[in-house]
């Protein structure tokens, strides 16, 4: 690995305290976490009570606020998938966590399937969705051309075998299907402001760190095209709160809110929001 290509040195603030490098990928332009843990070691880095997406806990004001914002976001996600003209309304949510999005879609007449590797999160999701969620191995058994919409909400950055998974998503989509991917954007203002303390680097759970060009290159390689990009406004505030904690040891709500506001304001002209939703279709 060429050390001259190191973009940043980042610490795992939430679990291990270990140090990682972010290396520029020559082919696609995204950043790679280096070294990457072995696949069998990765689950150890998710063993934290602070990993909210694997629980439904509401222990403090921060977690209660997270769940309130998530409810608002769920309605926006539902509105997005409902905007596509689909015949059977078949949905695959890959990395579905505790199943709230699947449950929302199912209540709105979508035929849902979820994939979730974390057993505890999967069990919670299955209670909500009438046992529509399966482990990672089942993903490779799904039938091709089965889904009108496939969603990955902050999941693509976690996948060890990135290009293999991307190719499978394409095969699972119906010919006119839609792939929706939400990921952090390391070109955003808050990423540049917080640098090594930017919470959305979240090494080593995040193995890849994307910008708009790298997403386009990754999917154009398999004849898929980014047709639209949408910002996720709430993410800037959430990420800034965590980033303040990593940088100063305190949440600093006022400062985090101001930085989140500035990031969103600047993104009106730069189009570089803290997190971006990519709507991707076959070409």
Q: Which of 5, 15, 24 is nearest to 51 (CA)?
A: 15
R_g (Cα) of the chain, nearest Å: 18
Decide: 93 and 69 in contact? Cβ < 8 Å.
no
pTM assigned to the model: 0.92
pLDDT of residue 1: 45
Instruction: Delineate the domains of the chain, giving CATH numbers in brackets.
Output: 3-282 (3.40.50.150)
Residue 208 tokens read as 């890849």
Number of alpha carbons in the 13 Å side-chain half-sphere of residue 99: 27
* Length, in residues, of the chain: 283
Mean pLDDT over the full length of the chain:
92
- Are the beta carbons of 259 and 206 closer than 8 angstroms? no
Convert the pLDDT of each residue in 233-266 to its tens digit.
999 999 999 999 999 999 899 999 999 999 999 9
**pLDDT tens digits for 138-194?**
999 999 999 999 999 999 999 999 999 999 999 999 999 999 999 999 999 999 999
Region 8-23 average pLDDT? 97
Residue 89, CA atoms < 13 Å, CB-side half-sphere: 13
| Beta-bridge partner residues of 179 | 150, 280
4 pLDDT higher than 60: no
DSSP 37: P
Q: Let me know the angle formed at the C-alpha of 89 by 163 and 215, rounded to the nearest 5 degrees.
A: 25
Q: How much is the average pLDDT of 189-217?
A: 98
Task: At 30, list the tokens.
Answer: 């995204």
Q: What is the pLDDT of residue 5?
A: 81
Tens of pLDDT, residue by residue over 128-137, are: 999 999 999 9
Residues 52-82: tens digit of each pLDDT: 454 555 555 555 666 667 778 899 999 999 9
Q: Residue 17, Cα to own-chain centre: how many angstroms?
A: 22
List C-alpha distances in Å: 44 to 14, 85, 118, 181: 12, 41, 11, 25
């Amino acid at each position: 690995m060429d050390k001259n290509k190191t973009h940043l040195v980042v610490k795992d603030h939430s679990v291990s305290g270990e140090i990682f490098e972010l290396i520029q990928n020559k082919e696609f332009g995204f950043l790679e976490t280096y070294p990457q843990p072995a696949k069998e070691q990765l689950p150890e880095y998710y063993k934290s009570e602070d990993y909210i997406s694997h629980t439904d806990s509401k222990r403090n004001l921060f977690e209660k606020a997270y769940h309130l914002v998530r409810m608002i976001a769920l309605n926006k996600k539902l509105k997005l998938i409902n905007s596509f003209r689909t015949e059977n309304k078949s949905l695959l949510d890959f990395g579905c966590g505790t199943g709230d999005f699947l449950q929302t879609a199912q209540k709105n007449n979508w035929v849902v399937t979820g994939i979730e590797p974390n057993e505890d999160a999967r069990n919670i999701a299955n209670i909500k969705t009438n046992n529509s969620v399966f482990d990672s191995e089942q993903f490779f058994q799904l039938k091709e051309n089965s889904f009108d919409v496939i969603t990955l909400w902050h999941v693509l950055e976690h996948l060890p075998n990135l290009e293999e998974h991307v190719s499978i998503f394409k095969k699972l989509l119906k010919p006119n299907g839609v792939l929706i991917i939400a990921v952090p954007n390391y070109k955003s203002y808050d990423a540049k402001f917080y640098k090594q303390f930017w919470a959305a680097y979240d090494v080593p759970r995040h193995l890849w760190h994307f910008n708009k060009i790298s997403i386009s290159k990754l999917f154009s390689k398999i004849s898929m095209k980014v047709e639209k990009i949408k910002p996720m406004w709430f993410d800037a505030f959430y990420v800034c709160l965590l980033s303040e904690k990593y940088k100063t040891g305190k949440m600093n709500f006022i400062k985090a809110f101001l930085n989140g506001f500035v990031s969103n304001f600047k993104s009106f002209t730069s189009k570089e929001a803290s997190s971006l939703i990519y709507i991707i279709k076959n070409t």
